Amino acid sequence: MAQEDIFKKIIAHCKEYGFIFQSSEIYDGLSAVYDYGQNGTELKNNIKQYWWDAMTKINENIVGLDAAIFMHPKTWEASGHVSAFNDPLIDNKDSKKRYRADVLIEEYLEKLEAKIQKEVDKASQHFGKNFDEQKFRTTNQRVIANQSKVDEIKARFIQALEKNNLPELKKIIEDAEIVCPVSGSKNWTDVRQFNLMFSTQLGSVTEETNTIYLRPETAQGIFVNYLNVQKTGRMKLPFGIAQIGKAFRNEIVARQFIFRMREFEQMEMQYFIKPGTEMEWYNYWKEKRMKWHKALGMGDEKYRFHDHDKLAHYANAAADIEFQFPIGFREVEGIHSRTDFDLGNHEKYSGKKIQYFDTEENRNFVPYVVETSIGLDRMFLSVVSNAYTEETVESTGEQRIVMRIPEVLAPTKLAVFPLTKKDGMPEKARKIIDELKFDFNCQYEEKDTIGRRYRRQDAIGTPFCITVDHQTLKDDTVTIRHRDTMEQERIPANEVGKIITEKVSMKNLLKSL
């Protein structure tokens, strides 16, 4: 099945099983804004807990913060967001559709590269073992022509972005003969810069001076509180401040479900360090964060690093952790060495001294920062897209959809079914839940056949189901059924809690980091 179709199925599944709904759906929705349903909320909370504990609980020098979304407008001047947080946009005059100029060019390059790859794959199949890819790439006329187009456009594109040359971006679109996917025409407007911050008015007077922004990243709440936390917590370098919270960006092209939203959630940690040690800490956090992802067991091959060629205005080194989504390898987290750009600028703009006194070296300086910044919603998307599995049950030939969510993150850990609604089975099932509901989320289900109840739990990723039957009433044993293997075993009812706790334990996962 095409990856695009799988992605559509995942989106439909998320809606059907209470993971994610379109915001204000009864009014036909709000573009690129989503609500998390009953199962989505639990999954999201579990991801948050995994991140929060991995930062603040197991590192004694990392503490938490919960800063407000609204901040003094000067914050965003100091951070560079007022002047530089822009995307280049372009409109098609016929369809009236708006695009990101850089994305149009990137997609064009991706298409050409895919064409080249197709030729290579075809030839490789044709020639088999004797295929010399290098030779083919340098002699096949079609490949050479396409490759030189890619090289030329790429070089112009990188230069245009670096120089912020908007007319050149338009020229590239024209020269490459990129058409609007809706109207099919090449009737483009000029490229303009578009600031991604949402603004609103503070108080009741609509004056320029009252304009404030919805924060486009959580990091600045940490920077402006650096001194507060350092002083009140008597923190010594190196130390970190972690925060989870909403961020808002007026994205021009917001497609691809929760991958790119206008309101989303970030989990960011700023690590304050001595100047000169940034590369050491940058590499340390790159490895640490990759380990955190891989520890979930979703497959090591699904992750890769992507080092940035073009650095943001604040960074001296930056890499993304990319995950293999159904739409391809895409960024899920960024690790950035931000130097003293932010604290230094806040010092300048606020006129307050924001420094650290190093007692060993007996000197003051502005600390450097290495940050790790992950999108909670993208992390959520990586988990659900990896989990979604359609398979045929061997024994019955029946189709099932199972969400193979890592057990520790699953919204519900245990479902308990009485085989029938009589003979005291419901009471016994409820009794098991009443004991275990303090440890993890449980669900009670008595409707339909056991098989159908299993399917419903598979669809929301519940790793364990327990059935209370006639034998339970005689010897206090139950059957436990495992989601992924569908294997069933008979175990004493009083061991259920222990077995499941072991498998879904956040503690064990954190210990493995």
Residue closest to ligand ATP when measured from CB atoms: 375
Q: Residue 426, interface with ligand ATP (CB under 6 A)?
A: no
Q: For residue 418, report the phi and psi dihedrals to the nearest 5 degrees.
A: -80, 135
Give the range of 4-12, 329-337, 361-369, 419-427 binding ligand ATP by CB under 6 A.
329-337
Which parts of 258-277 interact with ligand ATP (CB under 6 A)? 260-261, 264, 266
Q: Where do the H-state alpha helices sit in 163-193?
A: 166-175
Q: For residues 326 and 334, which CB has a smaller minimum distance to ligand ATP in the complex?
A: 334
Q: What is the nearest approach in angstroms of ligand ATP to the Cβ of residue 336? A: 7
What is the largest distance, in Å, between two alpha-carbon atoms of the chain? Answer: 81
Q: What is the nearest approach in angstroms of ligand ATP to the Cβ of residue 115? A: 25
Q: What is the nearest approach in angstroms of ligand ATP to the Cβ of residue 194? A: 13
Give the range of 356-364, 369-377, 443-451, 496-504 binding ligand ATP by CB under 6 A.
369-377
Measured CA to CA, the distance from residue 297 to residue 406 in angstroms comes to: 7
- Determine the residue type at 381: L
Q: How far apart, in Å, are the Cα atoms of 102 and each of 155, 288, 333, 487, 505?
A: 13, 32, 21, 50, 44
Structure tokens of 148?
């030189």
With tokens 């951070």, the residue in question is 79
Q: Residue 298, interface with ligand ATP (CB under 6 A)?
A: no
Alpha carbon of residue 56 to chain centroid:
20
Q: For residues 281 and 323, which CB has a smaller minimum distance to ligand ATP in the complex?
A: 323
Counting every residue written for the chain, the total comes to: 513
Q: What is the nearest approach in angstroms of ligand ATP to the Cβ of residue 260? A: 4
Task: State the first-to-last Cα distance of the chain, in angstroms, to the nearest integer.
Answer: 36
Q: For residues 80 and 497, which CB has a smaller minimum distance to ligand ATP in the complex?
A: 80
Q: For residues 62 and 332, which CB has a smaller minimum distance to ligand ATP in the complex?
A: 332
Q: Residue 375, interface with ligand ATP (CB under 6 A)?
A: yes
Q: What is the nearest approach in angstroms of ligand ATP to the Cβ of residue 441? A: 26
Which parts of 395-414 interact with ligand ATP (CB under 6 A)? none
Q: Residue 442, interface with ligand ATP (CB under 6 A)?
A: no
Measured CA to CA, the distance from residue 206 to residue 95 in angstroms comes to: 34
Contact, 305 vs 290, CB < 8 A?
yes
Q: Residue 331, interface with ligand ATP (CB under 6 A)?
A: yes
Structure tokens of 380?
């959520």
Contact, 254 vs 97, CB < 8 A?
no
Q: What is the nearest approach in angstroms of ligand ATP to the Cβ of residue 193? A: 15
Q: What is the nearest approach in angstroms of ligand ATP to the Cβ of residue 251? A: 5
Q: What is the nearest approach in angstroms of ligand ATP to the Cβ of residue 266? A: 5
Neighbours of 33 (CB within 10 A): 16
Q: Using CB under 6 A, which of 53, 91, 119, 251 touches ligand ATP?
A: 251
Q: Using CB under 6 A, which of 102, 340, 377, 445 touches ligand ATP?
A: 377
Task: Name the region of 80 (left: φ>0; alpha: ψ -120 to 50; beta: rest).
Answer: left
Q: Using CB under 6 A, which of 332, 366, 383, 468 touches ligand ATP?
A: 332
Measured CA to CA, the distance from residue 250 to residue 85 in angstroms comes to: 11
Measured CA to CA, the distance from residue 273 to residue 191 in angstroms comes to: 40
Q: For residues 377 and 407, which CB has a smaller minimum distance to ligand ATP in the complex?
A: 377
Measured CA to CA, the distance from residue 438 to residue 415 in angstroms comes to: 14
Q: Residue 333, interface with ligand ATP (CB under 6 A)?
A: yes
Q: Residue 293, interface with ligand ATP (CB under 6 A)?
A: no
Measured CA to CA, the distance from residue 24 to residue 29 in angstroms comes to: 5
Q: Using CB under 6 A, which of 334, 367, 411, 418 touches ligand ATP?
A: 334
Q: Using CB under 6 A, which of 374, 384, 459, 500 touches ligand ATP?
A: 374
Measured CA to CA, the distance from residue 431 to residue 478 in angstroms comes to: 13
Measured CA to CA, the distance from residue 89 to residue 191 in angstroms comes to: 6
Q: Using CB under 6 A, which of 156, 378, 404, 453 touches ligand ATP?
A: 378
Q: Which residues bind ligand ATP (CB under 6 A)?
A: 217, 249, 251, 260-261, 264, 266, 331-334, 373-375, 377-378
